[in-house]
A and B are shown apart, each in its own frame.
Chain A
């Protein structure tokens, strides 16, 4: 019975909680037992306070929409009283003094917050190998990475060591790991979910979103997370519909776009075949498939690594060893002798420089330097402003496409999960893992990834999940959830279990 419970969706769990077949405490106990059995291999969690979760379970209000449901949180969101390190040494020992708005909303909806999940340091990466606390492994093959940057959240949901988890997505950090771990991941429209309490990476691109086992569960979480917040002035006042209301309306008569730029050389043939088969399935389900063009797609990665690093270099300036986190233990003399002359030392500046050198990992340093460079005097016009203009062209591509189609179908990632260590030597190679997800953030629109097949197992590599990405226009969450649900209901990929 407990094994079955662990594999339940939130929707199934809630039914059993409401009918009192199970109690929230039993749910937490079963989940903690599963985590203790499986997580030493997967390493999705950085921090787990089982006693606090049990305490919360005893007081859980089942009448609320997520009453009694434990949810894991990416280590980038502030949860009052919990550590929040962004998987960075520079935030070692930091205890969040307040709740992020997304966390407040989960609490208000009755959820039990259980555990903090691993990530690439400051959400910079596509494999979770940039974590300062060690890497997470893919639940389908422990030699493979879970994707990133929200790799811990994806691996936990994929390994059924979480019923759902929150992540953040700046260039694909929810959808890409969801695809690689065989779960559902949704990046909302920019402004749909308040970013208050999310440690900022690239503020104009960051969004918080859910990882779930099923599309219905994603709708349930979006109902809770969405809406305007006076603490985040970029959150939208756009009406929040009930995302579960039209889930089962099907795709008959809908127009679904297939952009030719997303089926290119370099995409894994098995990924290509699985996504093409999904497109055929949509035809069977009554959708009209329309070939479209998003002509500026090939420039998305280049634009992203200018815009996102520029914003990151500014956002990460706050980590200076003064208000929180690490400060260098080195002491600096007030003056030093240079060629026999006494020269004054700026001690504060030296403290900043050494604190940041000791606290940040290599990928974060690399991006801070790149971002500083593209904003620096003499280069800002050529790099940053030019990239913003190309970003506008990418946005216009989507605007034009959504005049013709209701949603767009693409692969989420050009390949299934890759082996740990395979791409760490080449940052550029790693950046190309996000080639199909980045444009969505640059355009501000929404996207969801859901399982659409597996690779063929070989002697060395077990079968690995493949993800289908469905992209919708601004505020099109209801549409992409409905399109995703129609596919999920007619396939069984989401019911397969990892070999753990």
Chain B
């Protein structure tokens, strides 16, 4: 693991989170502590691990490709903060 540490402002930008300077400072300290704690994993010898299995033994779950009822467009749109003509409205993104 890298010793350079986390750049909270940069990572928050990747995660689409606007942070205040105060939040950046707090998270910088707290996340540095947490990353310091998880660094213990570096000591674990994982050379014996060949394949990672799922949380429980599973195989592919297949089903037939049938049309089934689902929620209506009106119901899907009902919780939207902005909608019109059966569409979600977002700020302009194409000139």
Residues of chain A touching chain B, judged by Cβ–Cβ distance below 8 Å, are 93-95, 97-98, 189-191, 204-205, 230, 233-234, 236-237, 296, 298-299, 301-303, 305-306, 313, 317, 320-327, 332, 334, 346-354, 356-357, 360, 362, 365-366, 368-370, 372-373, 376, 378-379, 382-383, 386-393, 395, 427-428, 431, 441-444, 474
- The distance from the CB of A471 to the nearest CB of chain B, in whole angstroms, is 14
Give the residue name and chain of the B residue nearest to A354 (CB): B18
- A94 and B15 alpha carbons, distance in the complex (Å): 23
Whether A321 lies near B81 (C-beta < 8 A) is: yes
- The distance from the CB of A311 to the nearest CB of chain B, in whole angstroms, is 11
Whether A388 lies near B56 (C-beta < 8 A) is: no
- A298 and B90 alpha carbons, distance in the complex (Å): 47
- The distance from the CB of A269 to the nearest CB of chain B, in whole angstroms, is 25
Whether A325 lies near B46 (C-beta < 8 A) is: no
Residue B76, interface by CB 8 Å: yes
Whether A347 lies near B92 (C-beta < 8 A) is: yes
Chain B residues 69-84 with CB under 8 Å of chain A are 71, 75-76, 78-82
Whether A356 lies near B17 (C-beta < 8 A) is: yes
Whether B79 lies near A369 (C-beta < 8 A) is: no
Known: A390-B46, A395-B55. 16 other contacts (CB 8 A): A93-B79, A191-B56, A323-B76, A334-B92, A348-B91, A354-B18, A356-B15, A365-B27, A368-B17, A369-B12, A376-B11, A376-B14, A392-B52, A393-B44, A395-B53, A428-B34
> DSSP majority for the A interface?
helix
> DSSP majority for the B interface?
loop
Residue B67, interface by CB 8 Å: no
- A276 and B30 alpha carbons, distance in the complex (Å): 36
Most A CB atoms within 10 A — which of B31, B42, B82?
Answer: B31
- The distance from the CB of A10 to the nearest CB of chain B, in whole angstroms, is 28
- A370 and B44 alpha carbons, distance in the complex (Å): 21
- A306 and B35 alpha carbons, distance in the complex (Å): 9
Whether A372 lies near B55 (C-beta < 8 A) is: no
Whether A204 lies near B54 (C-beta < 8 A) is: yes
Chain A positions within 8 Å of B75 at CB level: 97-98
- A204 and B52 alpha carbons, distance in the complex (Å): 13
Residues of chain B touching chain A, judged by Cβ–Cβ distance below 8 Å, are 1-2, 6, 8, 11-12, 14-19, 23, 26-27, 30-31, 33-35, 37-38, 40-42, 44, 46, 48-49, 51-58, 61, 63, 71, 75-76, 78-82, 88, 90-93
Whether A357 lies near B19 (C-beta < 8 A) is: yes
Chain B positions within 8 Å of A390 at CB level: 41, 44, 46
Q: Given A97-B76, A370-B31: A305 and B88 within 8 A (CB)?
A: no
- A289 and B46 alpha carbons, distance in the complex (Å): 31
- The distance from the CB of B74 to the nearest CB of chain A, in whole angstroms, is 9
Q: Show 24 A/B contacts (Cβ-Cβ < 8 Å), sorted by A.
A: A322-B80, A324-B79, A325-B79, A347-B91, A353-B17, A362-B26, A365-B17, A368-B17, A369-B8, A370-B34, A372-B11, A372-B12, A378-B2, A386-B1, A387-B38, A389-B49, A392-B49, A393-B48, A427-B34, A428-B30, A428-B33, A428-B37, A443-B55, A444-B56
Whether B56 lies near A190 (C-beta < 8 A) is: yes
Q: Given A366-B27, A428-B34: A322 and B58 within 8 A (CB)?
A: no
- CB < 8 Å: which of A230, A302, A327 contacts B82? A327
Whether A357 lies near B76 (C-beta < 8 A) is: no
- A270 and B53 alpha carbons, distance in the complex (Å): 38
Identify the 6 closest CB pairs spanning chains A and B, nearest first: A444-B55, A324-B79, A389-B46, A327-B81, A347-B91, A353-B18
- A13 and B52 alpha carbons, distance in the complex (Å): 46
Chain B positions within 8 Å of A376 at CB level: 11, 14
- CB < 8 Å: which of B16, B35, B51, B54 contacts A352? B16
- CB < 8 Å: which of B38, B46, B56 contacts A393? B46
Whether A97 lies near B79 (C-beta < 8 A) is: yes
- A204 and B58 alpha carbons, distance in the complex (Å): 12
Chain B positions within 8 Å of A387 at CB level: 38, 41
Whether A369 lies near B71 (C-beta < 8 A) is: no
Q: Given A205-B55, A393-B46: A97 and B71 within 8 A (CB)?
A: yes
